[in-house]
């Protein structure tokens, strides 16, 4: 098993690469690019599953909650690009993942910061305040796409 610092560096680089590739690949005028961009972000999401959430044995734990928040934001950013291009149906899978991962990130334990990080706290507050807007945007996309059926969510 890699030390936490090496695993964190590798994960950060891999996620950053996948984020850039997904943004570069997405072309709102080319529907086939949507699939490629989505698959790249799904790959980023799957990397998160490789790190145990309860990795508390290290002195410097990997903040999987923060990485999950970042992947959620990447899905949301591409959904916004598609929404702005009136590709409402195509934005739906990106929004579903964004909402699901955002909710998961808020429920995961966060790594303690040795020095209070005001920027990081603002990012978490933004997610907490913004998550309901993501769900609203998802509903708007379903509506504009003509999908007014109740989805298969369990309450």
Encode the chain (155 residues) as per-residue pLDDT tens digits. Answer: 667 778 788 899 999 999 999 999 999 999 999 999 999 999 999 999 887 765 544 556 788 999 999 999 999 999 999 999 999 999 999 999 999 999 999 998 877 665 667 777 888 888 988 899 999 999 999 999 875 554 544 32
pLDDT score at 154: 37
**CA end-to-end span of the chain, whole Å?**
39
Q: What CA–CA distance (Å, rounded) separates 38 from 88? A: 15
pLDDT score at 1: 61
Backbone angles phi, psi at 30, to 5 degrees: -130, 95
Q: What CA–CA distance (Å, rounded) separates 89 from 111? A: 36
- Residue 132, Cβ neighbours under 10 Å: how many? 10
Residue (of 110, 102, 109) closest to 137 by Cα position: 102
Greatest extent of the chain over all pairs of C-alpha atoms, in Å: 51
Q: What CA–CA distance (Å, rounded) separates 45 from 136? A: 22
Helix (H), strand (E) at residue 119: helix 118-144
Are residues 101 and 75 in contact, defined by beta-carbon separation less than 8 angstroms?
yes
Coil, strand or helix at 51 = coil
pLDDT score at 135: 95
Q: What CA–CA distance (Å, rounded) separates 54 from 52? A: 5
pLDDT score at 59: 55
């Amino acid at each position: 098993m890699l030390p936490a610092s090496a695993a964190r560096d590798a994960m950060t680089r891999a996620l950053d690469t996948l984020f850039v590739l997904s943004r570069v690949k997405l072309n709102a005028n080319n529907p086939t690019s949507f699939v490629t961009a989505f698959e790249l972000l799904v790959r980023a999401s799957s990397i998160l599953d490789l790190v145990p959430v309860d990795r508390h044995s290290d002195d410097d734990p990997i903040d999987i909650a923060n990485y999950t928040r970042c992947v959620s934001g990447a899905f949301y950013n591409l959904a916004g690009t598609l929404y702005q291009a009136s590709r409402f149906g195509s934005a739906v899978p990106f929004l579903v993942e964004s909402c699901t991962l955002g909710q998961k990130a808020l429920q995961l334990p966060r790594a303690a910061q040795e020095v209070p990080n005001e920027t990081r706290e603002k990012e978490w507050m933004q997610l907490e305040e913004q998550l309901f807007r993501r769900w609203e945007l998802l509903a708007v996309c379903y509506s504009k796409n003509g999908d007014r059926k109740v989805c298969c969510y369990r309450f």
